[in-house]
Amino acid sequence: MIGIIYKLKCLETNEFYIGSTFNMNKRIHGHTNLNQNKMVSRHIIKRNNYKFIILEEREVNSKLSLELIENLYILIGWKTSKCINSKMSYNSDSYRKWYYSVKHRERHNETNREWKKNNLEKAREKVKCNYCNAIVNRKSLKRHQSRNICLNNRLNL
């Protein structure tokens, strides 16, 4: 089977959608029929200034093989802010976890940096453990309460 990896590109904003198919005409019709298109690509189609670009035609053994190749293009596209694919085409549980971490790693890192910047003093604040009366940092209280020394005091209460 000949698989096709394509890009649907908005000529106004340079945003693009990556897809794959075995039948390009049928796939184009699926994208341009706005009554049926519930994908993120509809945002590009609605602007009515777009172009379909074939990125690769390749002999593949299965739909899964084609989707894995498509995922490589999506990952490359996510490196830019112009790729609007919201998810990978193929998702197993472990694969889903991996791609989520790739896609959202920078946003989570930024969120963590902001939280630390805004809450550093609060995290360093000393608090008293309700179970063993030890004085610990607020940020390490949960970890302290899971340790044996504190757990033993809980059992003795």
pLDDT the model gives residue 97: 66
pLDDT the model gives residue 34: 67
Could you tell me which of 85, 88, 81 has the C-alpha nearest to residue 42? 85
CB-based contacts of 82: which residues, under 8 Å, 6+ apart? 13, 14, 15, 16
CA end-to-end distance (rounded Å), the chain: 69
Q: What is the CATH number of domain 2-87?
A: 3.40.1440.10
Radius of gyration in angstroms for the set of CA atoms belonging to the chain, rounded to a whole number: 25
SS3 38: coil
pLDDT the model gives residue 99: 65
Structural domain boundaries in the chain: 2-87, 91-124, 126-157
Residues of the chain predicted below pLDDT 50? none
CA pair distance 34, 31, nearest whole angstrom: 7
Strand 126-128 and strand 50-59: the pairing is: unpaired
